[in-house]
Each structure stands twice: as structure tokens, then as C-alpha cells.
Amino acid sequence: MGLMRVQWMRARLIRVWSIPAFLAVLLTGCAGNKSILDPAGRAAADVALVWWGMAGFFSLVLIMVVALGLYSFRRRSRPKLSALEEKRLARRFILGGGVLLPVATIGVLLIFGVPAGQRMLPVPLGTPPDVIQVTGHQWWWEVRYPGAEGGEVVTANQLVMPAGEPVDFHVTGADVIHSFWIPRLGGKIDMIPGHINRIRLEADSPGVFGAQCAEFCGTQHAHMQLYVEAMERSDYEAWLAERQAAKLETLAVQSDAHAPAREVFVEYCARCHRVAGLTVPDSQWELAPIQGPDLSDIGARPTLGAGVLAMEEGAIGYWLEHHQQLKPGNRMPAHLALEPPALQAIGDWLETLSP
């Protein structure tokens, strides 16, 4: 009997603690650099507050509905209500569940939701905030800093912003509708071709955040990620200064050892990709981008292919050789005319483009 009792108690403990343990495992998925439940900005904190409020409220509604269902089963054995009593009970349910409850729910959502939305609107401030322009392409991000000293700074798949102050993002799409979303900093906004939408976000402190296109935009939608880093104002200004056109132009041609790779790049890659300071032979015109990301500082970026590969030694050459396997359907054509050694040489040169 003693052994049976121990086994019974053990089974009971397993049943009692299995659900909390399972929920604890599930809750680990609520953290990370793309979780709305781990806010790192005021707007995101407002969104999280509304989310938790809705989750708590509708959990109570679920509990109430289940309780009423159980109560109704227990009443089956009791005498039936009269027609008048049934009519009164039905009216109470309609008034409470069909009128009062929805009105109260909408009212609470408006009380919390409207201020949260207003904080993300680019209303005029005493000191105009920095403006960062973001364009969504299939399937990568173009980021421009029009107000940078020394000329506009252009990069791709990497967004750097000052921490502790609001930043206005002007977003648009180049081909189809995309959606700009940094979950830990605030809400999302559509990127519509031919139209500029605006959203104001702020990072409470320096940190690294994940961003993701939140509107299905084609086969590689899931691989359209954006690396976001918030820096102190002084570090942010230094980051921009390192990417001024004058410095990047000298960076592209600083090594004679990579001259053959640069020539191959000009011949095969320059119609779609720009590298500051690299010019077509016998021409005074700087190469201009047509379809692909600006590569002027690609060696300093943390990822390749909008988050497909981590930037490390040899990664660019590997991407050039296998990009259609790594990210099927991307618009960069297969380099059938170039052998792997030539592609690796281009990759080795591009890795040196790091301010």
C-alpha cells in the first residue's frame, strides 16, 4: 500500500506541475530582439500595455464563458424556468454580454490605444528630430540619412539611430507593398510604392534590435530582415562621419592588390550596385545604383542578404557563388560567366570596404 500511495502522489504531482512547466517553456518565446512583449521604447511599451490588457480581459471572458457552460450543465437536473423567467434571463444576457461588455471593451481600448498611437505620429517638436528614409525592395532594405553632414549617407539592410531621442522614419516601397516594423520600438507602418508614410520611434537606451517586413511581399518575405542598432548621440554622429562620401571614395581604391577584382566588378556588377568613388574607366561619372543595394560600406555590415548570412571572412564570396541557393528568387542573376575564384576575389575586395 505504501508503494502504491507513493506512485499515486508522484503521478498527482506530475499532473499538477506539468501545465505550469509547459507554460513556462512557452513564455520563453516571448523574449528576444523581435518580441513586442519586451519593449525598448515608449511607443512599444504602450503597445505592450494594450496587449497585456487585452490578453487579461479576454482571458477573464474565456473563464466566465467556461464557468457559465459548466453551470448550465449542472442546472439540467433542476426544474425548468417559466417562460417569463427565461425571457428575463435572456434579456439580461443580451444586455450584459451583447451591449455593456462590448461598449466597455471598446472604451478601454480607446482610452489606452489612442494615446499610444498619437505618440508614434510625427507631430511638430521644439527641436526637429532626425529623419531616416527607409525604402523596401524585394527583398532588402535601403536606408538613407539625408541630413548627415558631408552629404547623404546610404546603406542597406542596416539601420543605425540615436538612442534616447525621437527619430522620424519616412518609409516607402520600391516595387510592392512592404511593412516597416521594429517590434521592440513600436508599431508597424505600410511601405507603399509612390507614397511616403511617416512614423516616429524612440529607443530608450543603446541596443541591438531586430526588424522584419510585416507584409507578405513575395517568396523571400521571411528573409527580409533589418539589423537595427541604437547608439549614443556621439557614437551615432561618428558612425555617420565614417560614411561620408569623401571617406568612402578613398576606401574603394585604397589597395592596388584588389585592382583586378574592381575591374571585374565594374564590368559585371556596376549596373546594379554602387560603390562610392569607383568610376567607369575613362568616365567622370560615378556609378549609380539601379536595382541592388549600395555596397560602399558592405564590409562593416553585420549580415548579408538581409539577414541570410552572418558577415565573416569569405562570406561575401560564398554569397556571390551560392546566392540563389541561399535566397531563391532574389533578383541578382547567376554569375555564369565568372568562375568561383573570380567571385571570391570580388568578395575579398568588398570585405575591405569597412570604414
Residue 6 lies in a domain: no
Span 162-188, pLDDT tens digits: 999 999 999 999 999 999 999 999 888
Span 35-69, pLDDT tens digits: 778 888 888 888 888 888 888 888 888 888 888 77
Residues 130 and 257 in one domain: no
Residue 20 lies in a domain: no
19 pLDDT higher than 80: no
Residues 65 and 204 in one domain: yes
110 pLDDT higher than 60: yes
Residues 211 and 327 in one domain: no
Q: What is the 3-state secondary structure (H, E, C) of the chain?
A: CHHHHHHHHHHHHHHHHHHHHHHHHHHHHHCCCCCCCCCCCHHHHHHHHHHHHHHHHHHHHHHHHHHHHHHHHHHHHCCCCCHHHHHHHHHHHHHHHHHHHHHHHHHHHHHHHHHHHHCCCCCCCCCCCEEEEEEEECCEEEEEECCCCCCCEEEECEEEEECCCCEEEEEEECCCCEEECCCCCCCCEEECECCCEEEEECCCCCEEEEEECCCCCCCCHHHCEEEEEEECHHHHHHHHHHCCHHHHHHHHCCCHHHHHHHHHHHHHCCCCCCCCCCECCCCCCECCCCCCCCCCCHHHCCEECCCCEECCCCHHHHHHHHHHHHCCCCCCCCCCCCCHHHHHHHHHHHHCCCC
Residue 47 lies in a domain: yes
243 pLDDT higher than 70: yes
Residues 61 and 114 in one domain: yes
Residue 105 lies in a domain: yes
> What percentage of residues in the chain have a pLDDT greater than 70?
81
| Predicted local distance difference test score (pLDDT) of residue 331 | 85
Residues 82 and 139 in one domain: yes
Residue 111 lies in a domain: yes
Confidence grade of residue 346 (pLDDT, cut at 50, 70, 90): very high
Span 308-345, pLDDT tens digits: 999 999 999 999 999 988 999 888 887 667 888 899 99
Q: How far is CA 249 from CA 100, 143, 287, 347, in A?
A: 66, 19, 12, 18
Confidence grade of residue 26 (pLDDT, cut at 50, 70, 90): low
Decide which of 241, 269, 287 is a domain's last residue.
Answer: 241
Residue 93 lies in a domain: yes
281 pLDDT higher than 60: no
Residues 233 and 249 in one domain: no
CATH number at residue 294: 2.60.40.420
Give how many domains the chain has, as a whole number: 2
Grid cell at residue 19: 501545465
Highest mean pLDDT among 56-60, 77-81, 149-153, 198-202: 198-202
| Predicted local distance difference test score (pLDDT) of residue 49 | 82
Decide which of 219, 241, 263 is a domain's last residue.
Answer: 241
Residues 233 and 252 in one domain: no
- The residue segments making up the domain with residue 108 are 32-241
Residues 154 and 49 in one domain: yes
Higher local confidence (pLDDT), 161 or 56: 161
Residues 282 and 333 in one domain: yes
Residues 76 and 223 in one domain: yes
Residue 24 lies in a domain: no
Residues 228 and 118 in one domain: yes
Residues 160 and 298 in one domain: no
273 pLDDT higher than 80: yes
262 pLDDT higher than 90: no
| Predicted local distance difference test score (pLDDT) of residue 155 | 92
Residue 14 lies in a domain: no
287 pLDDT higher than 60: no
148 pLDDT higher than 60: yes
Decide which of 241, 267, 285 is a domain's last residue.
Answer: 241
29 pLDDT higher than 60: no
Higher local confidence (pLDDT), 89 or 188: 188
| Predicted local distance difference test score (pLDDT) of residue 17 | 59
